[in-house]
């Protein structure tokens, strides 16, 4: 008998997943660099970037500084 079962309930993560699913409903703006859907709504102002490109841009600006 193994009574010491490591149980890891993560209600927070499941709730976040639920929220992410709800957010995935709306039409998203396309990334201006790779045309992947971003996490911004279509009505976003400026040039939306997907998380990947956003990360790359951030790294590039960090390097060029």
Residues that bind Zn ion (CB under 5 A): 31, 33-34, 36, 50, 53
Q: With respect to Zn ion, which residue has the nearer C-beta, 29 or 31?
A: 31
Q: With respect to Zn ion, which residue has the nearer C-beta, 16 or 34?
A: 34
Residue 42, helix vs strand vs coil = coil
The answer to whether 48 and 29 have CB atoms below 8 angstroms apart is: yes
Cα–Cα distances (Å) from 49 to 10, 32, 60, in that order, read: 30, 6, 14
Q: With respect to Zn ion, which residue has the nearer C-beta, 23 or 55?
A: 55
Q: How far is the CB of 65 from Zn ion (least distance, A)?
A: 22
């Amino acid at each position: 008998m193994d009574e010491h079962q490591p149980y890891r309930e993560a209600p927070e993560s499941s709730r976040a997943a639920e929220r992410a699913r709800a957010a995935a409903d709306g039409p998203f703006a396309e990334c201006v660099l790779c045309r992947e859907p971003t996490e911004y709504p279509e009505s976003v102002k400026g040039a939306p970037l997907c998380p990947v490109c956003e990360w790359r841009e951030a790294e590039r600006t960090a390097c060029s500084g």
